[in-house]
A and B are shown apart, each in its own frame.
Chain A
Amino acid sequence: MIVGLDMGGTHIDGVIVEDGKIINTVKKPTNRDNLFESIWTTLEELLSGYDKSNIRRINLSTTVSTNAIVEGKTSPVGMIIQSGPGLPTDFLACGDENVFISGYIDHRGTVVKELDLEEVERGLKLFKEKGIESCGVVTKFSTRNPSHELVIKEMAEKDFNPVTMGHSMSGKLNFPRRVYTSYLNSAVYDTFNEFADNIKKSMEREGIDAPLFVLKADGGTMNLSTAEEKPVETILSGPAASFMGINAMLKTDRDALLLDIGGTTTDIFFLADGIPLFEPLGIKIDRYKTLVRAIYSYSIGLGGDSSIKVEDGKLKIGPKREGRPYAFGGPMPTPTDAMIVLDLIEDGDRDKAHKAMDILGKELGLSIEDVAKKVLDTMGGIIKHEVDGLLYEINSHPVYTVEELLYGKEVQPEVINIIGGPAKVLKPILEEKFKLPCHYPENYHIANAVGAALAKTTTEITMVADTARGILSVPELEVYEKISRHYTLDSARDRALQLLEESALSLGAKEDELELEVTEESVFNMVRGFFTSGQNIRIKAQVKPGLIQELRSDRVV
């Protein structure tokens, strides 16, 4: 038995999945003042009557870190930043105190200018005086050589916890994002760890002895102990849960458009040959662009409860939600009212729904029914327009080789899979607009919890092997190994897959569910003067995100 819990802003959903079948579901309102209790009551109700010792794992999607950031309830952080030559630095000051130090490491990982330890000491003293307990340490090109970050961490460790080091967050190059990601990791550390402690205590109390996993924004999971070290990975996992839910309920191995249409927003996702599209670098939260790996998702202000106005003789739907639909006592006409008028929903006050459409109809010179039809048609039109724009952007992402430019794959959806309240109503409209088949699952309302329950453990690594320097590095795993001058791409690839597997297992993955793949690899001859001095090998590899088991029971329409 696998338990999935999805903590949303308004509801907590729970499911139990066994042998690919959903055997129980629960939905409870979220008490934002006591998230922990909300989870616990949901879990209790969900599990009552089931043998707790049969639980194989609990997968949890939580908003504690996200909420802390968005609501500004994070811990104060002192940042030590070594920015070296390059861009101006003032915009990097994201901590409550920021100390910029001298010293510099270049793109090959060579120390050009040493650290000034006194500067670091002064910075740490300042943090202490200001009552700061959390630290972040980031140096430019630390992914190529983390030595300065390691020295500073050692100095800070005795007085500060956590001390997040930039290179441990991601192996990707992007110094500003590494600064923000490290900052956020330290900023949400206390919040998340308090939450984790509570969960662990309660599980003990209830006699549940199952491994606990937390959902990440990339649609995969990590075990709780990893999440405690890297809580920043738990931000914005909500859209990932719904994405995984759609994927679990509607399986495809083709290019697909996935939509989650809710009351306020519509989330848009894509699959390429059935594999999720990721954000190229990482997710953005609040004003911070990060290196937190995430499923590509785009949210538009369009849903069943979006308010509708007439502007310049045209219907304008969204982007705001002003309240409930008119038929439920809300202030403005909404798509839900249109659906009621057209007998597509049997709920709400029909007279009020008619009145709502009448308001719009008078302005447009249309009958009540025609307006309602036009509302739904306009909704489909907005989605089509947004999706076309996103696909254009996705398909013009920068490429760097002749091969990719001439023969690179383009994402061209062949099917639309959709969840959410208006799914059934919008299916024929979207089929007409996109000229593509459109499917929705009957149990769409628990898709997020199912997505969380079935998400596999995932991870990714970035490797650089420089045979001239004789160093192989995988920064996010703290791996810096010596290699010989004759190290080859083949040996690097083997080593990458081996390290990836070890890493996935340590995150809690089961050996039989691991699907490893190399996503990028290249090798460059390094020539100095007129002689080849070595090779520069670069590899990215990942555990393919996916489902622990196939869902068998759900009916698809």
Chain B
Amino acid sequence: MFKAKNRLGLVFFPAFDWAISSTHPEREERLLYTQDQIFEEGIEDIDGIHFYNPIVAEERDIERVHFCVPDVKTRLTKSHFISVGGAIRAFKSIMDGEVDKAFALVRPPGHHAHRVVYGDRGFCVVNVEAVMLEKIRQEYGDLRVAIVDTDCHHGDGTQDIYWNDKDTLFISFHQDGRTLYPGTGFMDEFGGPSGYGYNINIPLPPGTGNEGFLYVLDNVVLPILDEYKPDIIINSAGQDNHYTDPITNMNFTAKGYAELNHRLDPDIAVLEGGYSIEGALPYINLGIILAMAGIDYSHVMEPDYDEEKLRQPMDITEYIKELSDTVYDRWKNRYELSRHNLKDTDVVERSRQIFYDTDRILEEQTQRFRVCRHCSGLNTVESRSSTGYNIFGITIPRDACSKCIDDGHKLYKNTPSGRYSNIYLQDRVNDEFFK
């Protein structure tokens, strides 16, 4: 065989014995044909590509990121601990210098899981990338990170978790929320007071093809990454922009995905959605593996690929050009926009309804972000759900000043227990969690 240009670590964990239900898209069969393709191509024999088994994540790894209601144990299955553990193992292989890049092909996915977790929404319970990243930050120290979400659905969970964190730049391009679940991900969702401008959404019109995706990458994503200079780039690698995906309306291809990963050059990719399990996933996953390993991917192609049919219409091209200009301008003007919006504000409040489509739960929540001159600021969330819980969660961020740390603990102690069914405190500075 031949040698990969980049040493690539693969955590391939198809969880062949786990499903949401036997006919649900997130079922045992999902990565079966991907496995066939990877095996038949002889990927494991390529010099420089290493396969790793997942580790099993611990409860506190989940508590570091989420307020699970009522607790971690009852919300997660073993598969969730392993999916997250797989991503952590992949990231560690880079941090320990075993490989140059890593791809975690794990399931179930995670990017719709918010900070507060009542159950499953968008097939996600825990946010795989966030739990992975915060574990790595805890063990290896601070990192400036960019998460680029290439799933067709808006990565609303990841956005929620990093909403107020300017050291984690979140960029999501996805099918416009007016036409697809979860119905969010618009340009004006731009981040909390401390992270304003570091949450970037690029809602693309249905029918976007290779040309459009690569245009957005070249003209918005890459220039922003150039300026942001992250230590690590994570690709939240959903594969449902594919033209054969049964639940979306885009026209991206396997070769397009490979090209995207070649240009984006992420340190780590984590599989998210993608449910065209026979016609798309085997080819997209192969394309991503080859691109990340630095191997020629020009022969990767779907059986029914037809360039003519998939050509992007002119009007979509024009729309995307304008959209890209707007998004990039907003990034350029983020300081000004922030000053304008946050003048003389001490606390920023944000109230929302969140629907859990998979588990049929409705949540109403109010977040409060303190505007602090010394740190990202203490923040809280008050939330009630249709399942009868009524919770209060306090987060002391990683970079909290001593006043915010003290105030967080005081608030936890002084909140009368009768008012809520559950009260939580995340002290990220001391890596301590109370409930």
Question: Which A residues form the contact surface with B (CB < 8 A)?
Answer: 83, 85-89, 91, 104, 106-108, 110, 112, 140-141, 172-177, 281, 289, 396, 398-403, 405-406, 522, 524-527, 529-532, 536
Contacts and interface: CB of A to CB of B under 8 A. Distances in A.
A107 B40 contact: yes
A93 B70 CA distance: 60
A85 B53 contact: no
The 9 residue pairs across chains A and B that have the minimum distance between CB atoms? A176-B42, A173-B39, A85-B301, A112-B303, A173-B40, A107-B36, A401-B17, A524-B29, A88-B296
A108 B33 contact: yes
B15 A525 contact: no
A253 to B, nearest CB: 27
B273 to A, nearest CB: 16
- Chain B, interface size category, equals 35 or more
B27 interface: yes
B246 A529 contact: yes
B211 interface: no
Given A174-B45, A177-B45, A527-B23, A403 B29 contact: no
B76 to A, nearest CB: 12
Given A91-B1, A524-B28, A527-B29, A406 B78 contact: yes
Contacts of A175: 40-42
B23 A87 contact: no
B317 interface: no
B40 A140 contact: yes
16 contacts: A85-B299, A85-B300, A85-B302, A86-B37, A88-B299, A107-B278, A108-B278, A112-B303, A174-B45, A396-B53, A400-B13, A402-B82, A405-B54, A405-B82, A522-B16, A525-B28
Nearest to B22: A525
Q: Which of A398, A399, A532, A536 has most chain B Cβ within 10 Å?
A: A398
Given A87-B41, A174-B42, A522-B16, 15 more contacts: A86-B40, A88-B296, A174-B39, A175-B42, A177-B45, A398-B12, A400-B13, A400-B15, A400-B16, A400-B35, A402-B78, A405-B53, A405-B54, A406-B78, A524-B16
A91 B28 CA distance: 34
Contact of A289 (B1, B56, B299): B1
B118 to A, nearest CB: 23
B23 A85 contact: no
A110 B33 CA distance: 13
Contacts of B290: 87
B325 to A, nearest CB: 36
B102 to A, nearest CB: 15
B104 interface: no
Contacts of A176: 1, 41-42, 45
Given A173-B36, A174-B42, A175-B41, A399 B53 contact: yes
B29 A526 contact: yes
Given A85-B283, A107-B37, A400-B16, A525 B42 contact: no
B45 A289 contact: yes
A87 B299 contact: yes
B14 interface: yes
B52 interface: yes
Contact of B53 (A281, A398, A522): A398
A524 B19 CA distance: 11
Nearest to B254: A85
Contacts of A110: 303
Contact of A525 (B29, B36, B41): B29
Contacts of A522: 16
Contacts of A396: 52-53
A527 B21 CA distance: 11
Interface in B35-94: 35-37, 39-42, 44-45, 51-54, 56, 78-79, 82
Interface in B290-328: 290, 295-296, 299-304
B29 A536 contact: yes
B295 A405 contact: no
Nearest to A535: B29
B286 interface: yes
Nearest to B79: A402
A527 B304 CA distance: 20
B301 to A, nearest CB: 4
A524 B32 contact: yes
Nearest to A87: B41
A83 to B, nearest CB: 8
Q: Which of A289, A406, A527 has most chain B Cβ within 10 Å?
A: A527
A86 B16 contact: no
Contact of A88 (B18, B39, B295, B301): B295
A140 to B, nearest CB: 6
Contact of B13 (A289, A403, A405, A536): A405
Contacts of B22: 525, 527, 532
B247 to A, nearest CB: 11
Given A87-B42, A112-B303, A141-B40, A527 B51 contact: no
A350 to B, nearest CB: 48
A92 B298 CA distance: 17
Contacts of B78: 402, 406
Contacts of A527: 22-23, 27, 29
Nearest to A527: B23
B282 interface: yes
B126 to A, nearest CB: 15
A89 B278 CA distance: 23
Contact of A401 (B15, B52, B283, B300): B15
Nearest to B305: A85
A466 to B, nearest CB: 11
A104 B300 CA distance: 13
B87 to A, nearest CB: 14
A536 B41 contact: no
Nearest to A91: B2
A522 B54 CA distance: 21
A177 B41 CA distance: 9
A173 B37 CA distance: 8
Q: Which of B246, B290, B303 has most chain A Cβ within 10 Å?
A: B303
A402 B17 contact: yes
Nearest to B28: A524
A532 B19 CA distance: 14
A86 B41 contact: yes
Contacts of A398: 12, 51-53
Contacts of B1: 91, 176, 289
Contacts of A89: 299
A526 B30 CA distance: 9
A495 B165 CA distance: 59
Contacts of A406: 56, 78
Given A91-B2, A173-B39, A107 B16 contact: no
Contacts of B18: 402
Contacts of B53: 396, 398-399, 405
A490 to B, nearest CB: 18
A63 B13 CA distance: 40
Given A173-B40, A402-B82, A525-B28, A107 B33 contact: yes
A86 B299 contact: yes
A290 to B, nearest CB: 11
B51 A86 contact: no
Contacts of B304: 112
A244 B232 CA distance: 51
A293 to B, nearest CB: 16
A175 to B, nearest CB: 5
Contacts of B278: 107-108
